[in-house]
Chains A and B, each alone.
Chain A
Amino acid sequence: MAKSIDVSDLNIYYGDFLAVQGVNMTIKARSVTAFIGPSGCGKSTFLRSLNRMHEVIPGARVEGKVVVDGQSLYDPSIDPVAVRRQIGMVFQRPNPFPTMSIYDNVLAGNRLNSRRMKKAEADGIVEKSLKGANLWNEVKDRLNKPGMGLSGGQQQRLCIARAIAVEPQVLLMDEPCSALDPISTSAIEDLIHELKSDYTIVIVTHNMQQAARVSDETGFFNLKATGEPGQLVEFNPTKKVFSNPDESATEAYISGRFG
């Protein structure tokens, strides 16, 4: 079920403003791809264009191609809702649905088709997803309690469980640990390692150590210049990016001499 993503000549606009320009890359299936770069360089915008979530913002649009498993995401015949069912997303701040229990939060995506599920089937999905998100042992005795009652790290793992409950092809993570403490962060990073065997994972992070720890390949985004659109500066295996990058700008950024 994990799929690779081919991006070619992608330009992303907010209205007339060109936010990201000319991105080409191939994201491999069953691997973790990390995007790093300074704030405002378009990493999150690019990530959100991979499941057409950026369209939620009025005026946002793209030019170019994003192809998942031979299917162009921006083909006029493709429904963005269908895209998002295939490509899940985890956000910067944990966002479980406040009125739902842990159990209902996990099943929220599965229930969207208004499909009736048997109780046993639903129980199975909840257990499998929560185990997949390494949360089962912590919450199995209080599945009917509200999801908001969990700690921040638990809430984020609940959101991951909710995303994988619908068995997507790709999992996008937008700085999933930036609101979490180090222990929760470590729990999520372990989880990313495990999820990689089943899913194609794309993660945006401000934490370069995290990119180095969890990812197989790394893309470095930067603004061309102040006021210019963001662009993909370098896209290489993570080991190479952090030891011997092709671009001097990449080295400057990861070594902290950012200019």
Chain B
Amino acid sequence: MSTTIDEARGAGRRPGDAIFKGTAVGAALVILLALAGVAVFLLYEGVPGILGAREETGSSFVAYVWPLVYGTLVAAVIALVIATPLAFAMALVISHYAPKRLAKPLGYIVDLLAAVPSVVYGVWGITVLGPQLVPMYRWLAETVPWIPFFAGPASTTGRTIFTAGVVLAIMVLPIVTAICREIFAQTPTLHQEAALALGATRWEMIRMTVFPYARSGMISAVMLGLGRALGETMAVALVLSASGVITLNFISNTNPSTIAANIALRFPEATGLAVNILIASGLVLFAITFAVNFAARAIAGRSARRMSR
């Protein structure tokens, strides 16, 4: 490894290499600067909001932001619970089950889901999905009210945090599917043939070779999806009829809001310290997303080490 680095240094004297190196380092620095700039901005504008929350809202900043954090996490978790198995299954169909002629178009169609603007998803959630889900919510509230998630009373508009979660699930589906599909397809033929030659069925072969090989990638994919679900603003802001409560009840008219949707809805009319408070809540979202990505890296790195051992 060290020899290649030394060679690269020696080659740095050639103008092409020097230009490339300069551009690459510059690009990397711009990313770091932008990230640092965002962090500084959030801290500079947010800290007064954190400190001054009591005089503006009458309660501490934690009391203000906690229901939003809760709503953000709940919506994202619902989205992932729905999207993850679907995405894994779709990626497997594309990489291992569908005949080649079918697999390619199928992959494109899933990728197209990512091209739909989030406003469109939001409008679709309000006008189509929400009303469609109302009968199901009613049925759940009547049949299984002892499950806290479905305690009811059922929403009449369908604009619940569960609906928001379903919309988010569809939005994160393409990225999770695309990454998983790529990794599944990279599983070494050698290992797959080893399993098949032992008399494994296709599903057994997938469990013996594809999943262990792809595990870290699958986790990264889900974490990336989580990151997207946490930060998604427009669709949630449109779909959710939020009242900012903390509740386990996912199907009623009173729902927790999310940080991003709350900022989008409140920012236009906010003035003075209220702006700082909203920015401070953005800082919290930034910290959560950062932690999620960090955890994803750590998990992916750990299983990569296990594979190479």
A108 B198 Cβ-Cβ under 8 A = yes
Interface residues of B in 276-305 (CB under 8 A from A): none
A58 B191 Cβ-Cβ under 8 A = no
Q: Contact residue range for chain A?
A: 20 to 34
Q: A53 to chain B: which residues have CB within 8 Å?
A: 193, 196-197
B212 A99 Cβ-Cβ under 8 A = yes
- A91 interface contact, C-beta 8 A: yes
B191 A84 Cβ-Cβ under 8 A = no
Interface flags for B181-209 (1: CB within 8 Å of A; 0: not) read 00000001011111111111100100011
Q: B200 to chain A: which residues have CB within 8 Å?
A: 81, 84, 112
A63 to chain B, nearest CB (A): 22
A99 B307 Cβ-Cβ under 8 A = yes
- A56 interface contact, C-beta 8 A: yes
Q: A86 to chain B: which residues have CB within 8 Å?
A: 199
- A93 interface contact, C-beta 8 A: yes
- B13 interface contact, C-beta 8 A: no
A112 B198 Cβ-Cβ under 8 A = yes
Q: A14 to chain B: which residues have CB within 8 Å?
A: none
B contact patch SS: helix
B206 to chain A, nearest CB (A): 13
- A148 interface contact, C-beta 8 A: yes
Q: B208 to chain A: which residues have CB within 8 Å?
A: 97, 108
- B309 interface contact, C-beta 8 A: yes
Q: Contact residue range for chain B?
A: 20 to 34
Interface residues of A in 85-144 (CB under 8 A from B): 85-86, 88-89, 91, 93, 95-100, 108-109, 112
Q: CB < 8 Å: which of A88, A91, A98 contacts B193? A: A91
Q: CB < 8 Å: which of B193, B212, B309 contacts A95? A: B193
Q: A88 to chain B: which residues have CB within 8 Å?
A: 197-198
A91 B194 Cβ-Cβ under 8 A = yes
Of the candidates A81, A86, A91, the one having the most CB atoms from chain B within 10 angstroms of its own CB is A81
B65 to chain A, nearest CB (A): 41
A84 B194 Cβ-Cβ under 8 A = no
B197 A146 Cβ-Cβ under 8 A = no
Q: List 16 A-B contacts (CB under 8 A).
A: A53-B197, A56-B193, A58-B100, A82-B199, A84-B197, A84-B200, A91-B194, A95-B190, A95-B191, A98-B191, A99-B212, A109-B198, A112-B199, A146-B309, A148-B309, A163-B197
| 10 closest A-B pairs by CB | A85-B199, A99-B212, A89-B197, A109-B198, A84-B199, A95-B194, A95-B190, A81-B201, A81-B199, A112-B200
Q: A residues near B, CB below 8 A?
A: 51, 53, 56, 58, 81-86, 88-89, 91, 93, 95-100, 108-109, 112, 146, 148-149, 159, 162-163, 166
Q: B residues near A, CB below 8 A?
A: 99-100, 188, 190-201, 204, 208-209, 212-213, 306-307, 309
